[in-house]
Amino acid sequence: MDQKDEIKAKVDLVEIVSSYLPLKKAGRNFAGLCPFHQEKTPSFMVSAERQVFKCFGCGESGDVFTFLEKIEGWNFRESLEELANRVGIKLKKIAPSGRGQQKEKLVEINNLVSKFYSYILEKHALGERGRKYLKGRGIKDATWKKFGVGFAPAGWENTFKFLVKRRYNAADIANAGLIIAKQKRAGQEYFDRFRNRLMFPIRDSRGTILGFAGRLIDEGKSNEAPLRSKSFEGQAKYINSPQTPIFNKGSLLFGLDVARKAIRDKDEAVLVEGEFDVMSASQAGVENVVASKGTALTEQQVIILSRICENVILSFDEDVAGDAAARRGIELLDVAGLQVKVVRLGKYGPPRTASSGGADLSEAKYKDPDDFAQKDAVGFKKAIKSAENIYDYFIDSALNRYEAKSAEGKKKIGIEILPTLAKISDDLVRAHYINRLAKDLEIDVNVIAGAVEKKKVSEFADNRITFSQDSKKSLDIEKYFAALYLFQDEIYKQALNFVKPKDFANSEVQDFWKWLRDIIGNLKQPTTKKVIDKVPGNFKEFVDDLYLVNISPVFADREIWAHELAKIANRIKKAAIARKLAGISREIKDAQAKKEIKRIETLTKKFDQMSKTLKEESL
């Protein structure tokens, strides 16, 4: 047994997957919402027996190594190392593959450049502008050092020359996203992507630097000569590393490597938008804070959060209730089973003085979490502690934006809020907010409850996936039959005669059924386990798929199971006859075209006999 198989034998795929997403028992398998595409009804299946997974929605499938590679973006070696550490196996030294070597080199380049940027900011005269800027923003030295902040000085080739002197070639530096190719001019082929910018290394949860975000100092005032390209992105306030073999902005959260322990300890993550929000919050004593790099949360970011905590507090700059992208992110958090709360910055603004226009606190507002944490650290922590439930927030936001006393306002509020209430799974919580909305709109609670119920029924009708309908269609009725046959522990020999191999249209099912009949005929007291243990390599993936089919637990009753098996077998036989009839019909047309009278008579007789058989099968 090689080390891969040794590790695989000691690891439980169900346990690994459960650390990333909630799984529920579904017959002999486990089901959950697929982490690789957005869905509302679980189609992601995990087999404890076969130690494999498959999503019947997007098609992703594999074993524990495939799962980690896909969800973490690791290569095989990284997945192997992680699992080896979990089960206490010391790995033999293996030279990384070409792709692995490339990734290692990019990480190496990022680490080196990060040290270069940190040195410039901390000790070099060129970093004075960055140091002054951070001080002006209220960020202490210890804070920016904790997050590894650096400074990329102005100039076209500082980073490029630094790395070339250390024997890295232009192709590798460009592959890391640190330089940009340009039109040749006086022998120059590249320029630095990041210039005159504060540099924020973006790390994964293990602290590996995968890319950078750069904030322009004195944006719009650069003294550099303009490039020929009108699309030059260097003047943007923030730029990030481009997509690279190791960097994907949508799958990372800034500050996670620093905040991970605090998030686990508190079972809560405070989610903000930008790097300064994170640093100011951390400086104020809120350590469990990470940034999404914008309000449009991605599925991968939600997955990262869902596997380390159950509660998320949103502290964004804008009105997230009115932002479609933010609402989608909140829905993703909700679907992932996370409890979501919101800090409303507008409720905690500093008191206005007479000189600033009166004491109207309703308009007072900190512009963002960075501003709040810098000006009132104690208040910021109190605001997080008293963050309100997302449903209260949605209702309050709608009430603030629409006139609740007018019929038109009530209609707009209902359009926005009723679908949200319909999605609340807990009956008591849903009833609470139905009562609240009824009072706010001054409408009878039964009317609101009825409207929510209609939305709930509509949502169910739109999104349900029952195995007896949609799943059978997508899986193919023949594969369903084969999966159902293997569902019981005890082999049902009689069922082998329900259908013949030639009755199957799917050649894979046909070949498997032939093999199944042969192997069962050669076994004394055959059981499903004994049969599966003998599955040859060419059928392994096919059998894995059969095991992942979500067979209803009702078929644990052998009598119900046998009835279903017979019913599906009958459908397969009828489909086989229908295919034969279609073939004969084509032959008859061919004979008619050629005026072959005898052949027409023979085929017509055969067609009539087979039609009679089909009719009898249908009775």
Write out pLDDT tens, residues 275-318. 999 999 999 999 999 999 866 788 888 888 887 888 999 988 65
Longest Cα–Cα distance of the chain, Å, equals 108
User: Alpha carbon of 243 to those of 58, 240, 246, 356, 498: distances in Å?
Assistant: 23, 9, 8, 46, 54
76 contact partners, CB below 8 Å, separation of at least 6: 65, 69, 97, 100
Matching fold, domains 3-87 and 248-384: no
- Interior angle at CA 382, CA 289 and CA 146, nearest 5: 30
Q: What is the pLDDT of residue 607?
A: 86
Q: Count of CB atoms within 10 A of residue 149's CB?
A: 24
Q: Count of CB atoms within 10 A of residue 514's CB?
A: 14
Write out pLDDT tens, residues 426-477. 788 889 999 999 999 999 999 999 998 887 655 544 433 333 333 334 347 8
Rounded Cα distance, 321 and 312, in Å: 16
Structure-derived torsion over alpha carbons of residues 249, 72, 539, 517, reported in degrees to the nearest 10: -110
Mean pLDDT confidence for 67-87: 83
Q: What is the pLDDT of residue 308?
A: 84
- May I ask the CATH class of domain 3-87? alpha beta
pLDDT of 227 > 90? The answer is no
Mean pLDDT confidence for 501-518: 90
Return the DSSP state at 349: P
Domain positions in the chain: 3-87, 99-223+233-244, 248-384, 402-465, 469-618
pLDDT band at 354 (very low <50, low <70, confident <90, very high): very low
Q: Which residue has the higher pLDDT, 115 or 397?
A: 115
**SS3 (DSSP) at 490:** strand
Residues above pLDDT 70, as percent of the chain: 85
CATH code assigned to 248-384: 3.40.1360.10
202-216, 461-475, 515-529, 604-618: the lowest-pLDDT one: 461-475
Q: What is the pLDDT of residue 147?
A: 96
pLDDT band at 259 (very low <50, low <70, confident <90, very high): very high
**SS3 (DSSP) at 188:** strand
Q: What is the pLDDT of residue 360?
A: 38
Rounded Cα distance, 32 and 27, in Å: 13
Long-range contacts of residues 319-324, Cβ cutoff 8 Å, at least 24 apart? 319/397, 320/295, 320/393, 321/393, 321/394, 321/397, 321/398, 322/397, 322/401, 323/295
pLDDT of 234 > 60? The answer is no
Rounded Cα distance, 610 and 540, in Å: 36
pLDDT band at 555 (very low <50, low <70, confident <90, very high): confident
- For the chain, the average pLDDT equals 83
140 contact partners, CB below 8 Å, separation of at least 6: 283
pLDDT of 534 > 50? The answer is yes
Backbone angles phi, psi at 124, to 5 degrees: -95, 150
pLDDT band at 124 (very low <50, low <70, confident <90, very high): very high
Q: Name residue 406's amino acid.
A: S
pLDDT of 106 > 90? The answer is yes
Residue with tokens 């032959």: 587
Q: Name residue 460's amino acid.
A: F
Write out pLDDT tens, residues 173-195. 999 999 998 766 555 588 999 99
Mean pLDDT confidence for 496-525: 88
Write out pLDDT tens, residues 481-508. 888 888 888 888 888 888 899 999 888 8
Q: Using CB atoms within 10 A of its CB, is residue 562 exposed (0-12), middle (13-18) or buried (19+)?
A: middle
477 contact partners, CB below 8 Å, separation of at least 6: 568, 571, 572, 575
Query: CA nearest 255: which of 295, 301, 197?
Result: 301
Asked if 326 and 316 touch (Cβ cutoff 8 Å), the reply is yes
What kind and span of H or E run contains 411? helix 407-422
pLDDT of 617 > 70? The answer is no
Q: Which of 42-51, 469-478, 543-552 has the highest mean pLDDT?
A: 42-51
What kind and span of H or E run contains 179? strand 179-185
401 contact partners, CB below 8 Å, separation of at least 6: 322
Q: Which residue has the higher pLDDT, 363 or 502?
A: 502
Q: What is the pLDDT of residue 357?
A: 36
- Going across the sheet that includes 238-240, the strands are 150-152, 197-203, 209-216, 238-240
Q: Of the CATH numbers 3.90.980.10, 3.30.365.10, 3.40.250.10, 3.40.50.1170, which one belongs to the domain with range 99-223+233-244?
A: 3.90.980.10
44 contact partners, CB below 8 Å, separation of at least 6: 21, 31, 32, 33, 34, 35, 36, 53, 54, 55, 56, 57
Record the tokens describing residue 531, joined without a space: 């049969």
pLDDT of 120 > 50? The answer is yes
Write out pLDDT tens, residues 585-603. 889 998 899 889 899 889 8
pLDDT band at 381 (very low <50, low <70, confident <90, very high): very high
Write out pLDDT tens, residues 136-165. 999 999 999 999 999 999 988 999 999 999
pTM: 0.62
Mean pLDDT confidence for 259-284: 94
- May I ask the CATH class of domain 469-618? mainly alpha
pLDDT band at 346 (very low <50, low <70, confident <90, very high): low
The CA-to-CA distance between both ends of the chain, in Å, stands at 55
